[in-house]
Amino acid sequence: MTVPQPPEPIPGARLLFSLDPSVSHLNHGSFGAVPIGVQRAQQRLRDEMESNPLRFFTQGLVDRIAHTRRHLAGFLGADPDGTALVGNATTGVAVVLQSLGLRPGDEVLTTDHGYGAVGFSVQRECRRTGATHRALHVPLTAGDEEVVEIVRAGLRPGRTKLLVIDQLTSATARLFPAAAVVGVAREHGVPVLVDAAHAPGMLPITVASIGADFWVGNLHKWAFAPRGTAALVVAPPWRERIEPLVVSWEQETGFPARVEWQATLDYTSWLAAPAGLFALRSLGLDRVRAHNAALAAYGQRVVGDALGVAPADLPEPGGPTVSMRLIPLPRGVATTMDAAKALGARIAERLAAEVAVMTWNDRGWLRLCGQIYNTPDEYDRLAVRLPALLAKG
């Protein structure tokens, strides 16, 4: 079977990271990897903080955060006045959910591609308020139009108080037509939260053009920011209704500062995040995106071939820069979350490869990512060794 040519490597890129060279790191999507230069930038900020904590926190920190927020919002194509920095996508989702004022009889609508922890958050808010949670089934092979139609048919205007849609799904590595979904929900008066945890850095997005009521994205995955850096973007009508999870000194300032200032915390990840964008821009955003997407596609094909999966059965991610790809595992493998976790750990231990093993729709899936520090031989090695490991059970 012919496998597509892998992309030209980006020479020296691996040296920009402190990743263990004896391991193939094929799961950038879960927790990212922070370039050494960005780690250094954050350490310098921490040194500054520790040299005089009083001065660091009381003289100008709120302004420095606001400055950083404007910079990051510019990168995302989001309104800086509608953007709040938060620790992670999960926090952004929780802020939105608890600001909605859900009541008994209301419902929150999601899809069955949604992120597990976001599902738990929706369920807890529903339990707390007497609302209900409903998840729409979207087939893995559904095209964009079908996705929009499934959502349209699933909305219950008046009752559905929020639709949560992923821009790029985690378990299924699938790009959803976020702007079109927002459009159809808007026609029915249903607010939308776009969970774009993977979008910043990977997808060429302009958040404002998606038109969502709420959008949340992580910069600590594909935008090389230190962990703990995410953005919550809120449309104008909602801004004054948004309440922080923790009330602190900026409460009276209103959105976004009241969401950002969460008392005494280490804010250096946010302040160092522009160094991540600098690294990306220096390498060339388009070049990085094209490289990563092509490498993930290569990895999907070689590992898929090794497992005997026909190319037609390898899920297409739906966009040219999607840098995560899915491979179906043999029937009966990793069909529960515990089994998936155990298999991921076995692959890490025996094959020295970090991969994501997912369970979706009663089936086990391998998710492989491409990043600038990866090379084609890492996927080749996995392809050679994985079938025997799976055969051993």
Ligand X SMILES: Cc1ncc(COP(=O)(O)O)c(C=O)c1O
DSSP 27-70: -HHHH----HHHHHHHHHHHHHHHH-HHHHHHSSHHHHHHHHHH
Nearer to ligand X, 118 or 351 (CB): 118
Rule CB under 6 A: is residue 329 a binding residue for ligand X? no
**Residue keyed to tokens 């958050």:** 121
Only segment of 119-127, 193-201, 316-324, 347-355 that touches ligand X (CB under 6 A): 193-201
Rule CB under 6 A: is residue 166 a binding residue for ligand X? yes
Rule CB under 6 A: is residue 197 a binding residue for ligand X? yes
Site for ligand X in 202-231 (CB under 6 A): 218
Helix-strand-coil percent breakdown of the chain, rounded to 5?
A: 45, 15, 40
CB 89, min distance to ligand X, A: 4
| From 75, 115, 255, 298, residue interacting with ligand X (rule: CB under 6 A) | 115
> Computed from CA positions of residues 294, 329, 302, 13, in that sequence, does the dihedral angle turn out positive or negative?
positive
Rule CB under 6 A: is residue 111 a binding residue for ligand X? no
| From 16, 45, 118, 184, residue interacting with ligand X (rule: CB under 6 A) | 118
Helices (H), 261-362: 268-283, 285-306, 337-351
| From 28, 69, 174, 198, residue interacting with ligand X (rule: CB under 6 A) | 198
Rule CB under 6 A: is residue 195 a binding residue for ligand X? yes
CB 156, min distance to ligand X, A: 24
CB 175, min distance to ligand X, A: 12
CA distance 285 to 202: 9
Q: Which secondary-structure segment (H or E) carries 107?
A: strand 107-111
Rule CB under 6 A: is residue 27 a binding residue for ligand X? no
Rule CB under 6 A: is residue 270 a binding residue for ligand X? no
Nearer to ligand X, 318 or 330 (CB): 318
How many angstroms from the chain centroid is the CA of residue 155?
A: 25
CA distance 48 to 305: 52
Question: For 359, phi and psi rounded to 5 degrees?
Answer: -115, 125
CA distance 18 to 6: 24
Nearer to ligand X, 168 or 306 (CB): 168
**Residue keyed to tokens 């938060």:** 86
CB 48, min distance to ligand X, A: 26
Rule CB under 6 A: is residue 90 a binding residue for ligand X? yes
Residue ranges that bind ligand X, judged by CB under 6 A: 30, 88-90, 115, 118, 166, 170, 195, 197-198, 218
